[in-house]
Structure 1
Amino acid sequence: MKYTTTPDFPGETIASVIGVVSGNVVQSKHVGRDIMAGLKSIVGGEIRGYTEMINEARQIALSRMIEDAEKLDADAIVNVKFSTSMVQVGTSEILAYGTAVKLSR
């Protein structure tokens, strides 16, 4: 499945818009990561455990968005965006969304 953050694909023509597709995941922090993050916040710098967690969550959300588009028999997804929010203390949601389209053949 092709996807892009832009409104179109160079050299491709969008034949029709199918609709909005999305995928999300709610991820919680690991207690060990929390302890290390607390220590890291004292000295500063990247908290790699959280970076890895967010990257993994983004990939899951992206995969779920693609699955959503495939169910609608889309050829591609344009205007892909990501959003994150805190659901409750210790958990974050990553949402991937975009517009599913059919391309001209």
Structure 2
Amino acid sequence: MVVTLAAAVLVAAIGWLLGPGASWWLEHVDGVTGLTGEKLAAAVDAVRGCALAVATGLAALAAVFSVPPATPTPPGTPSSLASAGTTPTATARPPNNSATPKPPSD
């Protein structure tokens, strides 16, 4: 519950920062004032680019750590059968002839 609330607040803050909050951030956090025209647009774009980079990193971090751990597959069970919940059938295997000793040649 707390993590969901924190994620919602973070998404809202990043959304605000990508929109009208970029100029506020530029003025109050970065301390940049007096820009107009193209210089203001470039500075606001830089703030939005940094915010987008941070948001992308946080999304990747959340994706990596939110994946549930894989359940172990019993030995000898093909992974396709284990994920389907079926039991594998026994199949005949050819004998391993490389381990049997060869008769001496005369």
TM-score computed with the length of structure 2 as normaliser: 0.34
If each structure's strand is expressed as a fraction of its own residues, which one has the higher value?
A: 1
Structure with higher Rg: it is 2
Q: Which has the higher contact order (CA 8 A, sep 6+)?
A: 1
